[in-house]
Every structure is written in C-alpha cells, then in structure tokens.
Amino acid sequence: MAAEGTAKGRAGRAGSYGIIALFTIFSAFPFYWMLITTFKSTPDLLKRGNNPFLLNEPPTLEHLKVLFHDTLFGQWIWNTLFVGVLVVAITLLLAVPAGYALARVMGRTGEHLGIGIFLTYLVPPTLLFIPMSRIIGDLGLQDSLWSLVLVYPSFTIPFSTWLLMGFFKAIPKDLEEAAMIDGLSRFGAFVKVVIPISVAGILTTVIFTLTLVMQEFVYAITFITAVRNMTVSVGVPTFLVHGDVYFWGSLMAGCFISSVPVALLYNFFVDRFVTGFTMGAVKG
C-alpha cells in the first residue's frame, strides 16, 4: 500500500493491532482463566487479597484428580464421542448424496429445495424440544444416548447438506461430464470422481458435524437425566454445579480439556468451512 510509510499508515497499523489485541484478549481470557484455575490450590482461589491472574501458591493437580476420579467426566467424553461418531455416519450417508443432487442434478428446483433445507436448520431446538421429548418418551428412548443419535441429525443434516452443496458446486462440471463420456453413469461419476475430489470438503463437514454435536445442550438436557448417560456439554455444568458448592477448579479443568483440543482441530478447517458456507449462500 502506498500509505504504508506515512504517519497515517502507521496510525492505521497501530489501530489494527490495537483492535486485534483487544478482541484477542476478550476471546481468549476465559480460557486462560480456566487454565490457571485448573492448577490453583483451593485456598489460593478463595483468598480475595491474592492476585487472581497469578499462581500465588505452588500448582496442584488436585482438581484434575477430582475431575477424573470423583466424577464421570471420562464417561461423558466417551458418551459424546459415541454420539458424535454415529451422528457423523448418519449425516454423511444422507447429506453427501443430497448435497450433490442439489448442487448438480436438480437444476433450478435444487436451488429452491436447497434454500428450503437450509431454512429447516433455522428451526431451532427451542421450538421442537417439547414435542420431541414426548416422542422420545413414547419410543422408550429417554435417558438413552440413542435419543441423541436419532435427534441430532435433524440439525446436522440440513447444515451439512448446505455445506456440501457449496463444495460440490465448486467442482468443475467438466470433470463429471468427462467421466460420463469415459464410460460411467451419472451416479458412477459421482462415486468415482466427485467423492474422491471432495475428500477435503467431506472431512470439513465431519469436523463441523462433530463440533455441532459437542455444542448441543438443549436436547441433551431435556432427554438425559441420568448422570451416567450425559454428554460433556451437559454433564460438566449440571453435575459439577449442582448443590451450593462449586468445584471451580475441577469445573474449569473440565471446560478447558473439552474445549481446546476441538478448537485446535477446527482451526485447520475453518477456511474451507467458510468457503463452503458462503459458496452455498452466494453462488446460484
């Protein structure tokens, strides 16, 4: 940029870095807070005079011990993964062909239907959880992880279909047509050419489906009451907060451990995610 060397340019750069610094602190501070709380001894936590930003006493692993031994945290993680993997499988099975059909096979109708499917993603759990809890009850699934496996695809499928539609639209049509001329059927071209090319997009969809499952709270708290069957996002806040005594150290440890690894994974895919998301939204 021409203005880089001037006083104005320097001011602009300082302004940008200022904004970035401010918001980075805003975003990351709670996680720093979780981390430092995890290793603080309880007396240190509860003394008002101590500088809360620092470790005033030697770090302790006590809170982690409590989290893994005295709570079902490990079980919750396992439950979350169990639901996550099954939901991802169901979602891919239904959303991959659907996304392709919308992007390529159905033309104009596909575009309208695509927007229609995306709109169902906007129908929130808050609108549906009351009748859904009845249905789950009638199916005899309350307190069972299978209830979540059944219900979660209701939002992961619309979302993934939309995302995948964006990815499929970005694949040159020529490739499928070449495959059809080279001897495959339309469906064959989809299986043998389109899917292998879209591996990165499909992987992105998997990651995002997983995070949606990890985030979900409303259905999980409505359907699951047995502590053994809770997922992480419900188990930590309900079980560890219940009662008047807050186990802040263990609580923060649980929050930190279940947040940061997923976030790391997510960061690798976020660019592709945004491409798919906006491609579906903007390209007709």
Residues in region 58-87 near another protein by CB under 8 A: none
Q: Does 166 bind another protein (CB under 8 A)?
A: no
Stretch that binds another protein, among 60-68, 81-89, 106-114, 140-148 (CB under 8 A): 106-114
Which of 182, 203, 228, 242: binder of another protein (CB under 8 A)? 182
CA separation for the pair 152, 213 (Å, rounded): 7
Q: Least distance from C-beta 193 to another protein, angstroms?
A: 6
Which residues, at least 6 apart from 230, have a Cβ–Cβ distance to it below 8 Å?
72, 76, 79, 220, 224, 238, 239
Stretch that binds another protein, among 60-68, 81-89, 139-147, 155-163 (CB under 8 A): 155-163
Q: Least distance from C-beta 238 to another protein, angstroms?
A: 9
Q: Does 242 bind another protein (CB under 8 A)?
A: no
Of 65 and 186, nearer to another protein (C-beta) is: 186
Which of 54, 123, 139, 203: binder of another protein (CB under 8 A)? 123
Of 2 and 226, nearer to another protein (C-beta) is: 2
CA separation for the pair 179, 131 (Å, rounded): 47
Which of 174, 226, 243, 244: binder of another protein (CB under 8 A)? 174
Closest CA to 29 of 271, 252, 280: 252
Of 61 and 200, nearer to another protein (C-beta) is: 200
**CB environment 245-283: b (16+ within 10 A), e (fewer):** eebbbbbbbbbbbbeeeeeeeeeebeebbebbbebbeee
From residue 8, how far is each of 1, 21, 93 by CA, in Å? 12, 20, 55
Of 118 and 167, nearer to another protein (C-beta) is: 118
Residue type, 162: W
Which of 134, 139, 140, 203: binder of another protein (CB under 8 A)? 134
Q: Least distance from C-beta 69 to another protein, angstroms?
A: 20
Stretch that binds another protein, among 59-67, 81-89, 102-110, 141-149 (CB under 8 A): 102-110
Which of 5, 7, 58, 126: binder of another protein (CB under 8 A)? 126
Crossing angle between the packed helical segments 248-282 and 232-241, to the nearest 10 degrees: 150
CA separation for the pair 161, 98 (Å, rounded): 6
Q: Does 14 bind another protein (CB under 8 A)?
A: no
CA separation for the pair 269, 172 (Å, rounded): 22
Q: Which of residues 209-238 bind another protein (CB under 8 A)?
A: 211, 214-215, 217-218, 222, 232-234, 236-237
End-to-end CA distance of the chain: 34
- Asked whether 91 and 153 are in contact (CB, 8 A), the reply is yes
